[in-house]
Amino acid sequence: MTLEDIVSGQVLLVDKPYEWTSYQAVAKIKYALQKVTGKKKLKVGHAGTLDPLATGLLIICVGKKTKAISDFMGLPKEYVAHIKLGATTPSYDLESAIDAEFPTNHINHEMIEEALNVFTGTISQVPPIFSAIKKDGVRAYEKARAGAEIVMAPRQVVIHELEILSYKDQLLELRVLCSKGTYIRSLAFDIGNALNSGAHLVGLRRIKIGPYEASNGKGPNEWAQYFFDEVAST
């Protein structure tokens, strides 16, 4: 990759670390590219956010490739999700504390398989109140953190595939292939309800976006170092 390549447009596969926001990943790469190219107005953006507590593939577009962001956002996403049965949280993940506990002794592998069948295909899903969706011009999570009462409208999403990878000690590991706009946190919550229990997401990794794989990506710091070590010298 040369300076000319970057200026003309590039698609970067970024493996977002735990507790990084998508914005922080973009900012890290943008700063490095600005330093290397000397262009302060270089366009850099991501094609689909990841929650801070999630890891995995983030597609970052540079220069003219930012025009293709909407195309990348429309691609199916594949995740590995870790779901803890028997408890819920207001955010549907580890961002908030457990607010209710439920029995799990009645749950077995067959029950889980049957429940997952309900969520395969086109489904109606209610996004979490702790989300970036705007309500009256304000991010829902900002209202939620302020203690406001929020009603989220259901949306149609598509779950192409659901596969149980493991289930032990109330911890369910799933592979999920889904459409854009799908909230895996909401899926975890809904699966808990379907099992006459509760559930919340305790781990999430995005492994693919369309044909692009997280295993072929670099972390934000790795990309920044690559630009300084390899690109700046070309």
Task: List phi, psi (to 5°) of 135.
Answer: -120, 115
Contact predicate 58/214, CB 8 Å: no
β-partners of residue 117 are: none
Query: What is the model's pLDDT at position 15?
Result: 98
Query: What is the model's pLDDT at position 151?
Result: 80
Name the 3-class secondary structure at 49: coil
d(CA 226, CA 92): 37
Domains of the chain by start residue, with CATH: 3-74+213-231 (3.30.2350.10), 77-209 (3.30.2350.10)
Residue whose structure tokens are 């493991």: 166
> Does 71 participate in catalysis according to the annotation?
no
- Provide CB contacts within 8 A for 27, sequence distance 6+: none
* Set 51, 93, 169, 190: catalytic member: 51
Query: What is the model's pLDDT at position 233?
Result: 64
Q: What is the mean pLDDT of each run of 10 residues along the chain (234 residues)?
A: 77 97 96 89 92 96 94 98 98 94 96 96 91 76 76 92 97 98 97 98 98 98 90 66
Comparing C-alpha atoms, which of 50, 51, 55, 65 is closest to residue 5? 65
